[in-house]
Chain A
Amino acid sequence: MSIQLEIRLKKHNKVYSEGENVTGVLAIQSPSDFKHDGISLFLEGTVNLQLSAKNVGIFEAFYNSVKPIPLVTSSIDLATTGKIPSGTTDIPFEFPLKPRSGRALYETYHGVFVNIQYLVKAELKRSFLNKDLIKTQEFIVEYKAGLPGLITAKAEPVNFKISPGSLQNVKDKAKVPRFLVTGHLDSATCCISRPLTGELVVEHCEVPIKSIELQLVRVETCGCAEGYARDATEVQNIQIGEGNVPCGLAIPIHMVFPRLFTCPTLITNNFKVEFEVNIVIVFQDDHLVTENFPIRLTRF
């Protein structure tokens, strides 16, 4: 058994917001006494941007990735050179969560081309014969209520009516079966912690329906020297209608926004993270009809 490091945060859900103190302990477990050359802790928050191969060449994508944007950095020396006794040693720590000057703290977000991540990193230095021990622990940042510039969700119902006539990119309208799907989303500005809701009614449909799905799409835009790259990728796909759904019956639209993979809609100078919802109707013959709704996510 070797030496083990563990960072235990005080909050179970590991959610912090600006101005709070990130507190916890560094737990060191060792079967025997050992010497070290100092233990330090780092708090880091960065935005990682990656260029998609679609927009720039594959090599550029690989080499030209945009430099990470640091949002917060601080460090503490927990101990100077010394000795750690055998057994478990807990060293408490505390960081104030404050952005670097000129920066703001964005919410944690794990995307494809944009990643916003906050880490606590512990480093235990040892003499040159032994490798240094490093341990990282992610924590989550959320906006706190009352932050200036935050929009809040409000009910703005979006009604929709999908029919062959409303389709845009169809070449031969005659091939499209006749159907009418109406409904509404309760709001296009949604609170991220509450589900997306609404209703959908298949008024009539000529061919049997195979499935009705809700697709959550992230739209990430990265600005860089060459201009900007905008990519839409699927976050998740939720089925709300299975098989030939009854006509005239309101089917609820209900989707829980996944944590980490979504964040409040974020628009900055360098990058943007936006979301859209697609309602996808798949017919028995695997033809599908999609209706797109841009939505805005908010924390509150």
Chain B
Amino acid sequence: MPAAAPPRLSCEWSSRTRDVFQKDFKKQLHSEEVLDHPLKPLVVTMSESRIIKLRTVGGSTTSSTRSSTPTPTQSSLYSMDPLGAALEGSDPLSQLASQQKIDPLSAMAADSWVEPIEGKRGKEKITSTTVVDDGMRETWASRKAGILCKFTTSEKLSIVTSFLSGGEKVIVKAQGSVVDKVRTRLEQLDDFEEGSVRQMLDLSQQEYMGRIEQLNSELVQAWHQDQRVKALKIAIQCSKLLVDTSVIQFYPSKFVLITDILDIFGKLVYERLRTKSDYYAPGSKFPTCLPENFTPDMVPESAKETCRNWFYKIASIRELVPRLYVEMAILKSYSFLTSGEFSQALMRLTRMVRGIGDPLVSVYARCYLCRVGLSINSSDRAYLRENFYDFLAMYNQLFSASVRMDLVLQKVDLSTYLTLYTPALDYILQSVAHDATEKTLAEILDRCKRKGNSALLFNTIMAAFKPAYVAARATQFVELLTCCDEEGFPKYLLFRTLGLCLSLADPPAEHCLQILNDVWKVVSKLTNPAQYVSCAEVWAQYVSKHLATREVNTFLGDIIKHMSVGRAYENHYASLQTVMERVLAHANDFETLLTMDKFLPMLDIFQKESVKVEVCKSIMSHYTKTYQFQTTNDPVITNALMFICRVMHDSVNALTVEDEKRQIGNLICSFVKRVDFARDFEQQLSFYVEARASFTNLDVIHALLVQSVNRLAVDTRCIVKGHHTRKTASFVHACAAYCYITIPSINSVLMRLELYLLSGQVALLNQCLGQADACLKAALSLIPDVPKTMEVDGKQRTSEPYIVSYICNFLSTLLIVPDSPEQGVLYLTRGLLNVIQTYSWDQQSTGRSTVYLHVLDMLAAAAQETYPYHIDMVDSNDVLYGSDPKFITELNRMCSVVVEEVLSHLKYLGTSELYQKQSSLALELLIRIAVKADLSKPDLATLALNLWNLAQRHGCMDLKLAVRITEYMKKRFSSSNDDVYADFISKLKIKS
């Protein structure tokens, strides 16, 4: 069959001129004016939602999608690179991390105990009592970790117990009567008390904690093996450990560890009582265990009896402290007996704690009592305050001779000793103070004032009550604190706590300055840099929030003065960093901040590179946040920021991780974007030159600079409306040159490609033909270097689709690039063809042939008398050659070569049996030939026909497409009277 013959591998192309473009133009969809750039709302949303996220970290992630309503803003798309904006700041993870640093509370929790406000803040939000209790309980959970971290020791500890020795003999006897049972139990108890009690000496803290943990598991195990007496004994022995105050620094931690065991014990007792008691639900005949929220009258007699037994057993514990602790531990089980017992029991226990002579042991017992009391949802809270007052009543014991003697023996100084009280005392007073009125504060304050050495008490009060209350009487507090004598509770902690309160609530405005002056009089006398800086860290927020720049400046100056002594800053970078963070966070006027004469010196204090970079980063991110859309041209600010950016930039080296680079790059970009000299384009350009010199390491910045300079060039053109004067012409030349020089220093090949093309287009727009040529040529020479794969959405993909689309874009630019007189016809296009030829395409893919088809398109367009588009004031080849036959011939020759290439690919596909691809490619080429070539040439017509046959030879043709093609051609050629076409169309038959 002649039709089945393979198409020849060569052809004579002859293009035809058409008036297609005008026709097509009319067919376009009707356009509509828009107010907004379609991409812009998306950009705005992203930055907005990030701000939301910052505020509600830990909240639901839906917040990011919530604000998707487009909000028009005045910003032009150019002022904010959408990508840059999206990446600005940082990814959510590092945001979380940095958030933690910013959050004043968690920052403090890390290094010191005096942060009760955390709980307080939570409290303020919640109103219902039960939830509040949960809050308080959670507070305890969070405190526990803090206590364990803070109160540690390197001293040797000892445990007295009978349960860790191992060889425990359990006497199993037939237990006859109650008497027998009692007797065996008594024997058992005796057994524990006499023989096996042993003292473990010289335990390190770690070992000690391990032992306690062991006791814990021992208890649980004993319980589950039904040896409840043993479990009780363990609980008693554990609480006995709390009487021992040797190695006093460790006492708070010991308290935490042991009360954990007691909690478990209490829970075991309670749960067993609850589950073991058969409860007949109304109407049901089968016993179940009691529901969670039972009332005493639902409890069966047997369970009550068991419960009573527990309390009788505990009431006969000889020693006071274990008796108290164990009763507190199982206090919740009173709910099996009566519902009203709690208030009485709590009050009785409160009183009984008075019997404990050691004030530290006593205050911790009270703390546990309050904690247990809060956990059982009793509405009566009188005991809380009673506990605090009882503590006040024995407050003098803290300074008694016997305590002092003990301290001397243990080599602990008084102030350390007093800080041991803070966790317990804070907890007690906080439970008192939560939703307390100001009257309570006044009353408690009054009582405390009457005591001597009341610094510890003041500290607790400030920590416990609502910051607003404290702030309202800040001057009074300052007075009280200043008067506290030196001995005892460390003064800096007092002022630190006050600072914390004031940073959460505002004191009366008229006192702000006075308060700071009074406080700083004391604080600036602190000689220990650690103490000083821990105050400064807290007060920084107050100063920057309430006082003017002048005071902030003085404040920073004072910090510099104190911290420079003996290079003290080296050990306190974290705190100093917080100071900076706070100052930045509250600076409403960034410009004055930067112009302050102590700001940059403060930056100099950070001598360690990594810290300094961190600080710079936070400065920049604060800056970009405050000045989201504002620009600056103040030389002082620009210089200062330039300096800061340079510090960041210089920290980038070969080892810097990608993410870090991105962050820094984005921050610097946002700075560069914010510098704007308005109409002073030359200064703007010189700023860009300076920026390029300063930031040589980061691709993003170079890219941004090239983009910016291009924009500058385009702006210039807009202003002169295309008619360049000599001056503007030389300026745009300078711009083009800048771009051309800058692009090679970018590492990423893809970025360079894009920018070359863009710069070339801009140069062309500005009639800088030489520069445009240079850029495009550079782009061409880059194409072979494009990596085979590229990262798209975090996945490795082949770069072919990108290359194809890039070349298409390039082609459409090439159409209007006028030929240089020194070079041959369409030399750039030839160059491109060469590149396509030599580029290592994937043989299987259609990339190369697609590109060739597009080249055909472009060449066909170039053969037209007038090109479909032009650049104003630039003559393209249509004008230059005026459709000279020589030019057309040249074009036709190029087309022939290209068609040959495609045909050879078709053949290759045929031999590789990729018929599907072959068929669709054949169709594609057929359309090109039919539409763009002159079919009156028999060669071309035959070729087209052969292609048609080839397309359906293997039955792989897309029938629908084929039908549509024929329809289209019929319609298209119906107007032309040429028989050739009618003849041709008649030959296009679809084989069925």
Contact = CB atoms under 8 A, between A and B. Distances in A.
Contacts of B400: 244
A258 B312 contact: yes
Nearest to A110: B179
Contact of A252 (B311, B312, B355, B361): B355
A157 interface: no
A251 B355 contact: yes
A138 B302 contact: no
A21 interface: no
Q: Chain A: interface secondary structure?
A: strand
A246 B394 contact: yes
A239 B320 contact: yes
Nearest to A255: B315
Chain A interface size range? 35 or more
A249 B320 contact: no
Contact of B319 (A119, A239, A245): A239
B316 A242 contact: no
A243 interface: yes
Contact of B316 (A110, A236, A248, A250): A236
B354 A250 contact: yes
A41 interface: no
Q: Chain B: interface secondary structure?
A: helix
B244 to A, nearest CB: 11
A252 B352 contact: yes
B402 A244 contact: yes
Given A12-B305, A239-B320, A258-B312, A252 B402 contact: no
B177 A208 contact: no
A170 interface: no
Given A138-B177, A239-B320, A249 B393 contact: yes
Contact of A242 (B320, B351, B394): B320
Interface in B347-371: 348, 351-352, 354-359, 361
Interface in B310-360: 311-312, 315-316, 318-321, 323, 348, 351-352, 354-359
A117 B182 CA distance: 14
B179 A245 contact: no
Contacts of B107: none
Contacts of B35: none
Contacts of A239: 318-320, 323, 355
Interface string A27-47: 000000000000000000000
A237 interface: yes
B319 A12 contact: no
A241 B355 contact: yes
Contact of A251 (B311, B312, B354): B354
A222 interface: no
Interface in B405-420: none
A259 B312 contact: yes
B243 interface: yes
A240 B320 contact: yes
* Most B Cβ at <10 Å: residue of A117, A208, A251, A255: A251
B978 interface: no
A237 B318 CA distance: 6
Interface string B358-390: 110100000000000000000000000000001
Contacts of A130: none
B65 to A, nearest CB: 61
Given A137-B177, A249-B394, A242 B301 contact: no
Nearest to B403: A244
A110 B182 CA distance: 11
Nearest to A235: B316
A208 B402 contact: yes
B395 to A, nearest CB: 9
A244 B315 contact: no
A256 interface: yes
Contacts of B397: 244, 246
Contacts of A254: 348, 352
B176 interface: yes
B314 to A, nearest CB: 9
Interface string A228-270: 0000000011111111111011111011101110000000000
A244 B354 contact: no
Contact of B357 (A12, A13, A236, A241): A241
Contacts of A250: 351, 354
Given A110-B179, A136-B177, A249 B356 contact: no
B302 A12 contact: yes
Contacts of B693: none
Given A12-B305, A240-B352, A258-B316, A246 B357 contact: yes
A141 to B, nearest CB: 13
B759 to A, nearest CB: 86
Contacts of A105: none
Contacts of A240: 320, 352, 355
Contacts of A259: 312
B483 interface: no
Contacts of B321: 242
A267 B480 CA distance: 66
Interface string A123-152: 000000000000011100000000000000
A104 B318 CA distance: 35
B537 to A, nearest CB: 38
Contacts of A237: 318
Contacts of B358: 242-244
Contacts of B319: 239, 242
A190 interface: no
Contacts of B355: 212, 239-242, 245, 251-252
A246 B357 CA distance: 6
B5 interface: no
Interface in A156-209: 195, 208-209
B287 to A, nearest CB: 14
Contacts of B315: 195, 238, 255-256, 258
A10 to B, nearest CB: 11
B178 interface: yes
B839 to A, nearest CB: 90
A11 B300 CA distance: 12
Interface in B197-254: 243
Given A249-B394, A254-B352, A256-B316, A242 B177 contact: no
Contacts of B177: 119, 136-138
B347 to A, nearest CB: 10
Given A12-B302, A138-B177, A256-B312, A242 B352 contact: no
A242 B354 contact: no
A238 B321 CA distance: 11
Contacts of A252: 348, 351-352, 354-355
Interface string B903-943: 00000000000000000000000000000000000000000
B274 to A, nearest CB: 17
Contacts of A119: 177
A238 B318 contact: yes
A256 to B, nearest CB: 4
Contacts of B305: 12-13
A137 to B, nearest CB: 7
A114 to B, nearest CB: 15
A246 B393 contact: yes
A256 B308 CA distance: 12
A258 B315 CA distance: 8
11 contacts: A12-B301, A239-B319, A240-B352, A241-B355, A242-B243, A243-B356, A249-B393, A250-B351, A251-B352, A251-B355, A252-B354
Interface of A: 11-13, 110, 117, 119, 136-138, 195, 208-209, 212, 236-246, 248-252, 254-256, 258-260
The 10 closest A-B pairs by CB, nearest first: A243-B357, A256-B315, A244-B357, A246-B394, A241-B355, A239-B320, A12-B302, A242-B320, A252-B351, A245-B357
Given A242-B319, A243-B356, A248-B393, 17 more contacts: A13-B305, A212-B355, A239-B319, A239-B355, A241-B357, A242-B243, A242-B321, A242-B361, A244-B358, A244-B397, A244-B400, A245-B354, A246-B396, A249-B394, A252-B352, A256-B311, A258-B316
